[in-house]
Structure 1
Protein backbone atom coordinates (compact mmCIF):
# COMPACT_ATOMS: atom_id res chain seq x y z
CA UNK A 1 0.00 0.00 0.00
CA UNK A 2 2.87 2.36 0.85
CA UNK A 3 4.44 1.73 -2.54
CA UNK A 4 1.18 2.56 -4.33
CA UNK A 5 0.87 5.83 -2.38
CA UNK A 6 4.47 6.71 -3.26
CA UNK A 7 3.78 6.06 -6.95
CA UNK A 8 0.59 8.16 -6.88
CA UNK A 9 2.45 10.93 -5.02
CA UNK A 10 5.29 10.87 -7.56
CA UNK A 11 2.81 11.07 -10.44
CA UNK A 12 1.06 14.07 -8.85
CA UNK A 13 4.41 15.82 -8.29
CA UNK A 14 5.41 15.17 -11.92
CA UNK A 15 2.09 16.57 -13.17
CA UNK A 16 2.55 19.70 -11.07
CA UNK A 17 6.14 20.12 -12.28
CA UNK A 18 5.01 19.71 -15.91
CA UNK A 19 2.20 22.27 -15.41
CA UNK A 20 4.59 24.86 -13.95
CA UNK A 21 7.15 24.29 -16.71
CA UNK A 22 4.45 24.50 -19.40
CA UNK A 23 3.08 27.76 -17.97
CA UNK A 24 6.55 29.29 -17.91
CA UNK A 25 8.18 27.77 -20.99
CA UNK A 26 5.47 27.56 -23.64
CA UNK A 27 4.82 30.70 -25.61
CA UNK A 28 1.37 32.26 -25.50
CA UNK A 29 1.55 32.49 -29.31
CA UNK A 30 0.30 29.29 -30.91
CA UNK A 31 0.91 28.36 -34.54
CA UNK A 32 0.05 25.08 -36.19
CA UNK A 33 0.22 24.17 -39.86
CA UNK A 34 0.00 21.10 -42.02
CA UNK A 35 0.46 20.64 -45.77
CA UNK A 36 -0.49 18.14 -48.44
CA UNK A 37 0.26 17.90 -52.14
CA UNK A 38 -2.83 17.41 -54.29
CA UNK A 39 -2.52 16.03 -57.80
CA UNK A 40 -4.63 18.75 -59.38
CA UNK A 41 -3.99 22.26 -60.72
CA UNK A 42 -4.43 25.26 -58.40
CA UNK A 43 -7.65 26.42 -60.05
CA UNK A 44 -9.31 23.05 -59.42
CA UNK A 45 -8.15 22.93 -55.79
CA UNK A 46 -9.25 26.57 -55.36
CA UNK A 47 -12.84 25.54 -56.18
CA UNK A 48 -12.83 23.61 -52.88
CA UNK A 49 -11.10 26.29 -50.79
CA UNK A 50 -12.37 29.59 -52.22
CA UNK A 51 -15.42 30.05 -49.99
CA UNK A 52 -16.79 29.17 -46.59
CA UNK A 53 -19.41 26.92 -48.20
CA UNK A 54 -16.72 25.04 -50.14
CA UNK A 55 -14.57 24.80 -47.00
CA UNK A 56 -17.45 23.27 -45.05
CA UNK A 57 -17.65 20.32 -47.46
CA UNK A 58 -14.31 18.99 -46.17
CA UNK A 59 -13.91 20.73 -42.79
CA UNK A 60 -13.31 17.97 -40.21
CA UNK A 61 -14.20 20.11 -37.19
CA UNK A 62 -17.85 20.53 -38.18
CA UNK A 63 -18.16 16.76 -38.61
CA UNK A 64 -17.17 16.28 -34.96
CA UNK A 65 -19.93 18.54 -33.61
CA UNK A 66 -23.20 16.85 -32.63
CA UNK A 67 -26.35 18.50 -33.99
CA UNK A 68 -24.27 20.83 -36.13
CA UNK A 69 -26.10 23.66 -37.85
CA UNK A 70 -24.72 26.56 -39.84
CA UNK A 71 -26.11 29.93 -40.94
CA UNK A 72 -24.31 31.86 -43.69
CA UNK A 73 -24.11 35.62 -44.04
CA UNK A 74 -23.34 36.52 -47.63
CA UNK A 75 -22.42 34.14 -50.43
CA UNK A 76 -19.41 32.95 -48.44
CA UNK A 77 -16.81 33.96 -51.01
CA UNK A 78 -16.22 37.68 -50.34
CA UNK A 79 -14.27 39.53 -47.65
CA UNK A 80 -16.64 40.05 -44.72
CA UNK A 81 -18.83 37.04 -45.52
CA UNK A 82 -19.25 34.73 -42.55
CA UNK A 83 -21.05 31.82 -41.06
CA UNK A 84 -22.26 31.02 -37.58
CA UNK A 85 -22.17 27.43 -36.35
CA UNK A 86 -23.90 25.88 -33.42
CA UNK A 87 -23.94 22.39 -31.98
CA UNK A 88 -24.54 20.66 -28.67
CA UNK A 89 -21.22 21.72 -27.12
CA UNK A 90 -19.82 24.16 -29.66
CA UNK A 91 -20.67 27.56 -31.08
CA UNK A 92 -18.77 30.16 -33.02
CA UNK A 93 -18.33 32.24 -36.14
CA UNK A 94 -15.86 32.32 -39.00
CA UNK A 95 -15.48 35.25 -41.37
CA UNK A 96 -13.36 35.88 -44.45
CA UNK A 97 -10.62 38.47 -43.93
CA UNK A 98 -8.50 37.94 -47.06
CA UNK A 99 -8.88 36.44 -50.51
CA UNK A 100 -6.15 36.13 -53.12
CA UNK A 101 -7.77 34.13 -55.96
CA UNK A 102 -6.15 30.74 -56.57
CA UNK A 103 -3.66 31.42 -53.74
CA UNK A 104 -5.07 32.20 -50.30
CA UNK A 105 -8.20 32.26 -48.15
CA UNK A 106 -7.74 34.00 -44.79
CA UNK A 107 -10.35 33.84 -42.04
CA UNK A 108 -10.98 35.01 -38.50
CA UNK A 109 -12.53 32.53 -36.07
CA UNK A 110 -14.52 33.58 -33.03
CA UNK A 111 -15.18 30.72 -30.62
CA UNK A 112 -18.11 31.19 -28.27
CA UNK A 113 -18.54 27.70 -26.76
CA UNK A 114 -17.05 25.75 -25.07
CA UNK A 115 -14.39 28.47 -24.56
CA UNK A 116 -14.39 32.10 -25.67
CA UNK A 117 -11.52 32.91 -27.99
CA UNK A 118 -10.30 33.99 -31.40
CA UNK A 119 -7.93 32.57 -33.99
CA UNK A 120 -6.75 33.32 -37.50
CA UNK A 121 -6.72 30.64 -40.16
CA UNK A 122 -5.18 30.58 -43.62
CA UNK A 123 -5.34 28.14 -46.49
CA UNK A 124 -2.50 28.76 -48.94
CA UNK A 125 -2.11 27.14 -52.37
CA UNK A 126 1.29 26.95 -54.09
CA UNK A 127 2.38 25.05 -57.22
CA UNK A 128 4.28 21.86 -56.50
CA UNK A 129 5.44 19.97 -59.58
CA UNK A 130 2.33 19.13 -61.59
CA UNK A 131 0.13 19.47 -58.49
CA UNK A 132 -0.75 21.94 -55.78
CA UNK A 133 0.63 22.15 -52.26
CA UNK A 134 -2.09 23.16 -49.79
CA UNK A 135 -0.94 24.54 -46.45
CA UNK A 136 -3.57 24.98 -43.75
CA UNK A 137 -2.55 27.00 -40.72
CA UNK A 138 -4.02 28.44 -37.55
CA UNK A 139 -2.70 31.08 -35.15
CA UNK A 140 -4.07 32.10 -31.78
CA UNK A 141 -3.07 33.13 -28.29
CA UNK A 142 -3.02 30.56 -25.50
CA UNK A 143 -4.20 31.30 -22.00
CA UNK A 144 -2.47 29.59 -19.07
CA UNK A 145 -4.65 26.46 -19.13
CA UNK A 146 -4.24 26.11 -22.89
CA UNK A 147 -0.45 26.26 -22.50
CA UNK A 148 -0.66 23.19 -20.26
CA UNK A 149 -2.76 21.42 -22.90
CA UNK A 150 -0.49 22.40 -25.85
CA UNK A 151 0.83 18.86 -26.53
CA UNK A 152 -2.75 17.56 -26.67
CA UNK A 153 -3.73 20.48 -28.91
CA UNK A 154 -0.87 19.68 -31.29
CA UNK A 155 -1.96 16.05 -31.43
CA UNK A 156 -5.60 16.98 -32.05
CA UNK A 157 -4.67 19.55 -34.71
CA UNK A 158 -2.47 17.02 -36.47
CA UNK A 159 -5.34 14.53 -36.56
CA UNK A 160 -8.01 17.02 -37.63
CA UNK A 161 -5.90 18.91 -40.19
CA UNK A 162 -4.73 15.59 -41.61
CA UNK A 163 -8.31 14.37 -41.95
CA UNK A 164 -9.48 17.64 -43.53
CA UNK A 165 -6.62 17.87 -45.99
CA UNK A 166 -7.13 14.20 -46.89
CA UNK A 167 -10.82 14.86 -47.60
CA UNK A 168 -9.88 17.95 -49.64
CA UNK A 169 -7.42 15.84 -51.65
CA UNK A 170 -10.16 13.29 -52.45
CA UNK A 171 -12.54 16.02 -53.59
CA UNK A 172 -9.99 17.90 -55.71
CA UNK A 173 -8.56 14.81 -57.39
CA UNK A 174 -11.96 13.55 -58.65
Structure 2
Protein backbone atom coordinates (compact mmCIF):
# COMPACT_ATOMS: atom_id res chain seq x y z
CA UNK A 1 0.00 0.00 0.00
CA UNK A 2 2.84 2.41 0.87
CA UNK A 3 4.45 1.69 -2.51
CA UNK A 4 1.22 2.67 -4.33
CA UNK A 5 0.96 5.92 -2.34
CA UNK A 6 4.59 6.77 -3.14
CA UNK A 7 4.01 6.07 -6.83
CA UNK A 8 0.93 8.31 -6.83
CA UNK A 9 2.83 11.09 -5.04
CA UNK A 10 5.70 10.71 -7.50
CA UNK A 11 3.34 11.01 -10.47
CA UNK A 12 1.71 14.12 -8.93
CA UNK A 13 5.15 15.67 -8.27
CA UNK A 14 6.23 14.99 -11.86
CA UNK A 15 2.99 16.52 -13.18
CA UNK A 16 3.53 19.68 -11.10
CA UNK A 17 7.16 19.93 -12.25
CA UNK A 18 6.09 19.46 -15.88
CA UNK A 19 3.37 22.13 -15.51
CA UNK A 20 5.79 24.64 -13.99
CA UNK A 21 8.45 23.83 -16.61
CA UNK A 22 5.96 24.29 -19.45
CA UNK A 23 4.56 27.50 -17.93
CA UNK A 24 8.05 28.95 -17.58
CA UNK A 25 8.42 28.87 -21.39
CA UNK A 26 5.57 31.36 -21.84
CA UNK A 27 6.38 35.03 -22.62
CA UNK A 28 7.42 37.37 -19.81
CA UNK A 29 4.62 39.81 -20.63
CA UNK A 30 0.97 39.55 -21.64
CA UNK A 31 -1.74 41.45 -23.46
CA UNK A 32 -5.46 40.82 -23.22
CA UNK A 33 -7.52 42.83 -25.68
CA UNK A 34 -11.09 43.04 -26.96
CA UNK A 35 -12.88 45.52 -29.24
CA UNK A 36 -16.41 46.50 -30.13
CA UNK A 37 -18.21 49.24 -32.01
CA UNK A 38 -20.59 51.48 -30.10
CA UNK A 39 -23.27 53.56 -31.79
CA UNK A 40 -22.33 56.76 -29.97
CA UNK A 41 -19.78 59.51 -30.57
CA UNK A 42 -16.29 59.12 -29.03
CA UNK A 43 -16.90 61.97 -26.56
CA UNK A 44 -19.90 60.19 -25.02
CA UNK A 45 -18.00 56.89 -24.67
CA UNK A 46 -14.94 58.71 -23.31
CA UNK A 47 -17.06 60.37 -20.60
CA UNK A 48 -18.09 56.95 -19.26
CA UNK A 49 -14.50 55.67 -19.16
CA UNK A 50 -12.57 58.67 -17.83
CA UNK A 51 -14.82 59.14 -14.77
CA UNK A 52 -14.48 56.34 -12.21
CA UNK A 53 -17.92 57.25 -10.80
CA UNK A 54 -19.39 55.99 -14.11
CA UNK A 55 -17.75 52.55 -14.00
CA UNK A 56 -20.62 51.09 -11.97
CA UNK A 57 -22.76 51.32 -15.12
CA UNK A 58 -20.53 49.11 -17.23
CA UNK A 59 -17.47 47.56 -15.57
CA UNK A 60 -17.93 43.82 -14.94
CA UNK A 61 -15.51 44.06 -12.02
CA UNK A 62 -17.84 46.48 -10.22
CA UNK A 63 -20.50 43.77 -10.15
CA UNK A 64 -18.26 41.05 -8.66
CA UNK A 65 -18.77 42.14 -5.08
CA UNK A 66 -21.65 44.48 -4.16
CA UNK A 67 -20.22 44.86 -0.65
CA UNK A 68 -16.78 45.97 -1.76
CA UNK A 69 -15.43 49.23 -0.39
CA UNK A 70 -14.83 51.93 -3.00
CA UNK A 71 -12.73 55.03 -2.51
CA UNK A 72 -12.77 57.77 -5.14
CA UNK A 73 -9.87 60.21 -5.22
CA UNK A 74 -9.92 63.89 -5.88
CA UNK A 75 -10.17 63.99 -8.79
CA UNK A 76 -12.00 60.79 -9.67
CA UNK A 77 -12.09 61.72 -13.35
CA UNK A 78 -9.65 62.78 -16.01
CA UNK A 79 -5.88 62.89 -15.86
CA UNK A 80 -4.71 61.96 -12.36
CA UNK A 81 -8.11 60.55 -11.37
CA UNK A 82 -7.89 57.78 -8.79
CA UNK A 83 -10.04 54.98 -7.50
CA UNK A 84 -9.39 52.16 -5.02
CA UNK A 85 -11.39 49.08 -4.08
CA UNK A 86 -11.29 46.36 -1.47
CA UNK A 87 -13.59 43.36 -1.49
CA UNK A 88 -13.81 39.68 -0.68
CA UNK A 89 -14.51 38.55 -4.25
CA UNK A 90 -12.91 41.43 -6.17
CA UNK A 91 -9.64 41.54 -4.25
CA UNK A 92 -8.06 44.91 -3.59
CA UNK A 93 -6.19 47.48 -5.59
CA UNK A 94 -6.18 50.92 -7.11
CA UNK A 95 -6.28 52.70 -10.45
CA UNK A 96 -4.84 56.02 -11.58
CA UNK A 97 -5.53 57.66 -14.94
CA UNK A 98 -2.11 58.33 -16.43
CA UNK A 99 -3.24 59.42 -19.92
CA UNK A 100 -6.46 61.15 -20.87
CA UNK A 101 -6.94 62.32 -24.45
CA UNK A 102 -10.57 63.50 -24.71
CA UNK A 103 -12.53 61.40 -27.18
CA UNK A 104 -9.45 59.32 -28.05
CA UNK A 105 -7.70 57.45 -25.25
CA UNK A 106 -7.58 56.64 -21.56
CA UNK A 107 -4.61 54.80 -20.04
CA UNK A 108 -4.76 53.58 -16.46
CA UNK A 109 -2.10 52.37 -14.05
CA UNK A 110 -3.75 49.34 -12.46
CA UNK A 111 -2.24 48.05 -9.23
CA UNK A 112 -3.56 44.94 -7.49
CA UNK A 113 -2.70 44.20 -3.85
CA UNK A 114 -5.01 41.20 -3.23
CA UNK A 115 -5.22 38.30 -3.91
CA UNK A 116 -1.66 38.82 -5.18
CA UNK A 117 0.34 41.93 -6.09
CA UNK A 118 0.52 42.95 -9.74
CA UNK A 119 0.99 46.18 -11.67
CA UNK A 120 -0.56 46.40 -15.12
CA UNK A 121 -1.69 49.02 -17.61
CA UNK A 122 -5.24 49.18 -18.94
CA UNK A 123 -5.96 51.21 -22.06
CA UNK A 124 -9.12 52.26 -23.83
CA UNK A 125 -8.59 53.45 -27.39
CA UNK A 126 -11.49 55.18 -29.14
CA UNK A 127 -11.58 55.51 -32.92
CA UNK A 128 -14.46 57.14 -34.83
CA UNK A 129 -16.12 54.56 -37.07
CA UNK A 130 -19.00 55.82 -39.17
CA UNK A 131 -21.53 57.35 -36.77
CA UNK A 132 -20.09 55.35 -33.89
CA UNK A 133 -16.89 54.56 -32.06
CA UNK A 134 -14.65 51.52 -32.14
CA UNK A 135 -13.48 50.89 -28.57
CA UNK A 136 -10.49 48.67 -27.83
CA UNK A 137 -9.94 47.69 -24.19
CA UNK A 138 -6.54 46.19 -23.48
CA UNK A 139 -4.53 45.20 -20.43
CA UNK A 140 -0.80 44.62 -20.51
CA UNK A 141 1.69 43.64 -17.86
CA UNK A 142 4.50 41.39 -16.79
CA UNK A 143 3.97 37.65 -16.44
CA UNK A 144 5.71 36.32 -13.35
CA UNK A 145 5.89 32.53 -13.01
CA UNK A 146 2.68 32.33 -10.91
CA UNK A 147 0.75 34.18 -13.63
CA UNK A 148 2.23 31.89 -16.29
CA UNK A 149 1.08 28.82 -14.31
CA UNK A 150 -2.42 30.32 -13.86
CA UNK A 151 -2.52 31.14 -17.58
CA UNK A 152 -1.53 27.57 -18.45
CA UNK A 153 -4.25 26.12 -16.22
CA UNK A 154 -7.06 28.67 -16.66
CA UNK A 155 -6.38 30.43 -19.96
CA UNK A 156 -6.24 34.01 -18.68
CA UNK A 157 -6.94 35.55 -22.10
CA UNK A 158 -10.13 33.53 -22.40
CA UNK A 159 -11.15 34.14 -18.76
CA UNK A 160 -10.43 37.88 -18.62
CA UNK A 161 -11.43 38.29 -22.25
CA UNK A 162 -14.99 37.26 -21.35
CA UNK A 163 -15.00 39.97 -18.66
CA UNK A 164 -13.76 42.55 -21.17
CA UNK A 165 -16.46 41.48 -23.66
CA UNK A 166 -19.17 41.80 -20.99
CA UNK A 167 -17.81 45.20 -19.98
CA UNK A 168 -17.75 46.44 -23.55
CA UNK A 169 -21.33 45.24 -24.09
CA UNK A 170 -22.43 47.08 -20.95
CA UNK A 171 -20.42 50.16 -22.01
CA UNK A 172 -22.28 50.03 -25.33
CA UNK A 173 -25.64 49.85 -23.53
CA UNK A 174 -24.74 52.82 -21.30
CA UNK A 175 -23.41 54.95 -24.16
CA UNK A 176 -26.32 54.18 -26.50
CA UNK A 177 -28.99 55.23 -23.97
Measured against the shorter chain, the TM-score band is 0.7 to 0.9
TM-score normalised by L of structure 2: 0.85
Residue by residue over 1:138-161, the C-alpha shift from the partner in whole angstroms, topping out at 9 and shown as x without a partner, is: 111111111122252112111100
Correspondence for 1:32: 32
Which residue in the other structure is 2:138 paired with? Answer: 137
Structure 2 residue 158 is matched with structure 1 residue 160: no
Distance 1:55 1:100 in 2: 18
Distance, in Å, in 1 between the alignment partners of 2:35 and 2:112 is: 24
Comparing 156-165 with 87-96, greater Cα deviation is found at 87-96
SS in structure 2 opposite 1:149? helix
Contact 1:66/1:88, CA 8 A, preserved across alignment = no
- Shift in Å, 1:14: 5.5
Question: In the alignment, which residue of structure 2 is the partner of 1:51?
Answer: 51
**Partner SS state of residue 49, structure 2:** coil
Please state whether the residue corresponding to 1:98 is helix, strand or coil.
strand
Flag structure 2 segments of 5+ consecutive residues without an equivalent. 1-6
Inter-CA distance 173–107: structure 2 relative to 1 (3 Å threshold): same
Name the Cα RMSD after superposition: 2.5
Which residue number corresponds to residue 3 of structure 1? none
Aligned to 1:62: 62
Consecutive unaligned residues of structure 1, counting only runs of 5 or more, are 1-5
Q: Do the aligned partners of 2:35 and 2:135 also contact (CA within 8 Å) in 1?
A: yes
Where do 4+ consecutive residues of structure 1 move more than 3 Å?
A: 6-16
- 1:122-147 Cα offsets, whole Å, 9 max, x none, are 11100112211000011111111111
Q: When the two structures are aligned, how many residues end up with a matched partner?
A: 172
